[in-house]
Structure 1
């Protein structure tokens, strides 16, 4: 991703697409961490063929431009399944045909059995998901991939919220951490992370919409949220 002082045209187009599709919404939403967020991103609302196809094009463009090396795609249950499949289709359309696999939440005790579906997990695996909240889903995917004898090399997500992750201490109290989920995956788990857009891109989008009161009114609240919970 580019730094916060540079406008990323792909990210700006993606944010606009997400807002227009009703996937990126403004208001008051409670996050998994219990914070009241002024915006919410729900990739499950890319809910028709045209939206999913365009979303996959954003992912594929960012993945190709990132230079990340991978041999196949893994889509973690549940939202990662259609995302990973759509991205695999778009990459094939662009001339990069790679195997695709996903997992079930519950093991199947008939047919082929197990929790993994699709191509065998081999080589360098790119995990495709929507967002990261705490890195928990990434850890689960890495464990599945390693158990199959492959290597998790990178994660591609749609939006990096650039906010502090949380943890529950031994005393049962939730605490803010000095790093984001994306930073945790990069620095602690050792995976590359490819993001279509970041919170800084959303703020830039809101700044360019000052002549649209319905959208611009949310800028101050999003900036205040970033000042309270944001990381660089």
Structure 2
């Protein structure tokens, strides 16, 4: 029996080595029983399929939007490929979606500036892989608002559903929840930690990792 769209994405990430189980020291310094590295979607076929997952998650959200924005650097190929996937999505009925991205440093020749692509206008969806500290979202929201456009949502691959902070002083909310509260915009994810756990529970070959992931979620999850 096929799983949900989110569980299908989890299996896709497993097949490409993007999602792995074991013991990994993550950016926060925590020892995590799983690791997700979207940078390992690194060939044309994988990125094309990834973009279809992003496009479907955005369509399924029911949110209205006018264009996509990819924060440098990981968001650049994600926004580009997702715009291509949306152009061929039947729900958009032939409508094409503009996209833009930023440079880390302003260009001092040609058109100059830090923005590349379509002018920022209307309802803008920010696309990234995950949200950790929320820095790229903060910078993106500022750029979009400065251009007179409206940040409409953030679209990510995986919601880790994890609180920040040191043990004993954990934040009340996850990074995703904090972004939603800080900017008043929804965060849409293709999949979440709950979906990873559902795949683990339903797969005898992976079930050995289930308790470690469940214990991590009990400790740090929301």
Matched position secondary structure for 1:188: helix
Structure 1's unaligned 5+ residue stretches are 1-6, 168-172
The structure in which a higher percent of residues are strand is 1
For 1:170, the equivalent position in structure 2 comes to none
Note if contact 1:134-1:181 (Cα within 8 Å) is conserved in structure 2. Answer: yes
Q: Retained in 2: the 8 A contact 1:163–1:180? A: yes
Q: Secondary structure, in 3 states, of the residue corresponding to 2:184? A: coil
Whole-Å separation in 2 of the counterparts to 1:36 and 1:151: 38
> In structure 1, what is the equivalent of residue 183 of structure 2?
189
1:134 and 1:166 in contact (8 A); partners too: no
2:158 aligned residue: 159
What SS does the corresponding residue of 1:63 show, helix, strand or coil?
A: helix
SS at match of 1:97: coil
Q: Secondary structure at the match of 2:170?
A: strand
3-state SS in 2 of match to 1:218: helix
Tell me the residue number matched to 1:106. Answer: 105
- What is aligned with 2:220? 229
Task: Provide the rounded CA distance (Å) in 1 between the counterparts of 2:116 and 2:164.
Answer: 31
* Structure 2: unaligned runs, 5 residues or longer: none
**1:34 and 2:25 are equivalent in the alignment:** no
Secondary structure, aligned partner of 1:176? coil
- The runs of at least 4 aligned residues of structure 1 exceeding 3 Å deviation read none
Task: Specify the SS of the correspondent of 1:158.
Answer: strand
Deviations along 1:104-129, whole A, 9 cap, x unmatched?
Answer: 11111111111110011011100011
RMSD: 1.7
Give the deviation of 1:32 after TM superposition.
2.0
Deviation readout 1:32-78 (Å, 9 max, x if unpaired): 22111111111111011110011111111111111111110000011
Kindly indicate whether the alpha-carbon contact (under 8 Å) linking 1:132 and 1:160 is maintained by their aligned counterparts in 2.
Answer: yes
**TM-score, structure 1 normalization:** 0.89
* TM score, norm. by length of structure 2: 0.93
> Aligned match of 1:58 in 32, 37, 53?
53
Q: Is the 8 A contact 1:62 1:195 kept in 2?
A: yes
Maintained 8 Å contact 1:8/1:201? no
